[in-house]
Amino acid sequence: MALSTFTSFADVDHLDNWVELAKKIKDNPFQFQDWGRNKTLGLIFLNPSLRTRLSTQKAALNLGMQVMVMNMNQDGWAIEMEDGTVMNAGTQEHIKEAAGVISQYCDIIGIRTFPGLKDRGEDYAENIMNKFLAHATVPVVSLESATRHPLQSFADVLTIEETKNKSKPKVVLSWAPHPRALPQAVSNSFVEWMIGARANLVITNPEGWDLSKNFTRDTPVLHNQEEALQGADFVYTKNWSSFENYGAIATGKENWMITKAKLSHTNEAKFMHCLPVRRNVVVADEVLDSPASLVLEQANNRTFAAQTVLLKMLGYEG
């Protein structure tokens, strides 16, 4: 049966098979071109994007699909999310019609939403994504939601699988400083997929910046970064604003930036980040520009992760 929804790791039936299919696609990206003939992918963005936008378009084109992209916030009508609203103020079109209409034009829809980072309950309820899912009548792929970024995580798993030189490498997710409040989505999702992959994962972040227990479960969380980095084979770095004091930005924690000296505690670890990254805030140039950095390969693998998901939505079961 064709994959109908891709919003989290829960939509993955057998991760090993998905990774093998992604590798097969990477070996020859055009081998499934017939699957997308006369099919249209619609990509709806409520937020900015470089990698997700281009890699998902490329994935669809590699499959022979047509692609339409819309920046909903800039080019569309203001969308009403609540049911029963008397729409006599700012919003002009209800999500029911918007999702229903886009479904008339597309065989698969991708949508990106971001959290407001003001109301934790609202963000973690995934209201926008869930409303869109409820009213779309074709398969929907998450291009990142308020709490998860599954296409990024799939590409990250693929990158680790391709790069590792031992069966169970130590993977450290290390919090990083950042001047703005960022979502927890990439980190939540990375943890979710690493647990799904039965990886040897350790998380390190300052006190008060623990991720939700619903995502970390029994993963070790260390507040001492140097201790966590000992013997790491992969260091995945990402900022996230506080879950506990929701949306708060950490100050005075510049020394959490990843440097060459920090990586000297590791097992010659590879450095990972989803991008975009703020140089010399999150990670020092000396790391990002070194052979240890996998960031461009992660970005490259976004295409093959997206292509795997789209191919499964088109009904491929191999």
Binding to ligand CP (CB under 6 A) within 108-167 occurs at 144, 152
Asked if 52 touches ligand CP (CB under 6 A), the answer is: yes
Smaller CB distance to ligand CP: residue 79 or 274? Answer: 274
Residue whose CB is nearest to ligand CP in the complex, by number: 52
Dihedral sign computed on CA atoms, order 229, 232, 236, 241 = negative
Q: Which of 7, 8, 49, 184 binds ligand CP (CB under 6 A)?
A: 49
Binding to ligand CP (CB under 6 A) within 246-275 occurs at 274-275
State the nearest-atom distance from the C-beta of 258 to ligand CP, in Å: 17
Asked if 57 touches ligand CP (CB under 6 A), the answer is: no
Q: Binding residues for ligand CP, how many (CB under 6 A)?
A: 9
Asked if 61 touches ligand CP (CB under 6 A), the answer is: no
Asked if 239 touches ligand CP (CB under 6 A), the answer is: no
Smaller CB distance to ligand CP: residue 32 or 110? Answer: 110
Asked if 51 touches ligand CP (CB under 6 A), the answer is: yes
Quick one: which segment of 45-53, 100-108, 116-124, 197-205 binds ligand CP (CB under 6 A)?
Answer: 45-53
Residues interacting with ligand CP, by CB under 6 A?
A: 49-52, 144, 152, 274-276
